[in-house]
């Protein structure tokens, strides 16, 4: 007779392929996970959340409480939004509204203002452009207004709205070509820009 090996019974629960990570909720009510954007309820802006993912689903938890679930997106930079996560009243509570961002950009120059308008119009909802615009506002603390304006002009000419990475690359390239470092704005200048 042949040898028979007894196998253990299968576990009662299926094997969990989930992976856990953390993310911070951005001002646009989305987190970044695996180079994709997933919405969460607006009341969690700036909060740290836990992300449980498996090959088909992304679930988001805040302080161990489930807050959102999405089918896992495919493709780099894809945005998954549940409309109930965004509310019109949420915009009123945001410090940086689209009009305030454009107004700030006008203080830098017309190309920067046009770039902000295009970024905000490019996305299905203006709040989705906040991330890029706020990134450019942060860059303005490291570079002069004239350099920011030149980078915006170049980005517009190239049709590149994947900012702030593109603008930072332009600014770094210009600094290298000039043989110098960053030309920083004073903190007083940044404060004045932020208040306008």
Q: Each residue of 90-140: pLDDT tens digit?
A: 544 456 778 888 999 999 999 999 988 988 888 766 667 777 787 788 788
Average pLDDT, stretch 82-91? 69
C-alpha 195/C-alpha 87 separation (Å) is: 25
Q: Each residue of 9-59: pLDDT tens digit?
A: 888 887 778 999 999 999 888 999 999 999 999 899 999 999 999 999 999
First to last CA, the chain: 89
Residues in the chain: 196
C-alpha 53/C-alpha 45 separation (Å) is: 21
Q: Are 86 and 29 in contact (CB under 8 A)?
A: yes
C-alpha 103/C-alpha 98 separation (Å) is: 9
Q: What pLDDT was estimated at residue 193?
A: 42
pTM: 0.48
Whether the pLDDT of residue 196 is over 50: the answer is no
Other CB atoms within a 10 A radius of the CB of residue 190 amount to: 16
Whether the pLDDT of residue 68 is over 50: the answer is yes
Q: Are 59 and 39 in contact (CB under 8 A)?
A: no
Of 185, 99, 187, residue with least CA distance to 140: 185
């Amino acid at each position: 007779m042949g040898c028979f090996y007894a196998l253990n019974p299968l576990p009662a629960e299926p094997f969990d392929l989930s992976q856990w990570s953390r993310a911070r909720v951005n001002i646009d009510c989305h987190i970044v996970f695996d180079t994709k954007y997933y919405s969460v309820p607006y009341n969690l802006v700036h909060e740290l959340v836990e992300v449980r993912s498996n090959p088909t689903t992304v679930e988001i938890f805040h302080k161990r409480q489930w807050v959102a679930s999405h089918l896992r997106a495919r493709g780099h930079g894809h945005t998954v939004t549940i409309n109930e996560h965004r509310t019109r009243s949420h915009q009123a509570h945001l410090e940086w509204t689209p009009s305030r961002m454009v107004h700030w950009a006008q203080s830098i120059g017309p190309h920067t203002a046009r770039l902000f308008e295009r970024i905000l119009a490019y996305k299905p909802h203006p709040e989705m452009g906040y991330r890029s615009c706020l990134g450019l506002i942060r860059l303005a603390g490291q570079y002069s207004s004239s350099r920011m304006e030149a980078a915006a002009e170049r980005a517009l000419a190239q049709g590149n709205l994947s900012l702030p990475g593109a603008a930072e690359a332009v600014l770094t390239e210009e600094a290298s070509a000039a043989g110098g470092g960053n030309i920083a704005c004073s903190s007083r200048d940044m404060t004045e820009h932020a208040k306008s």
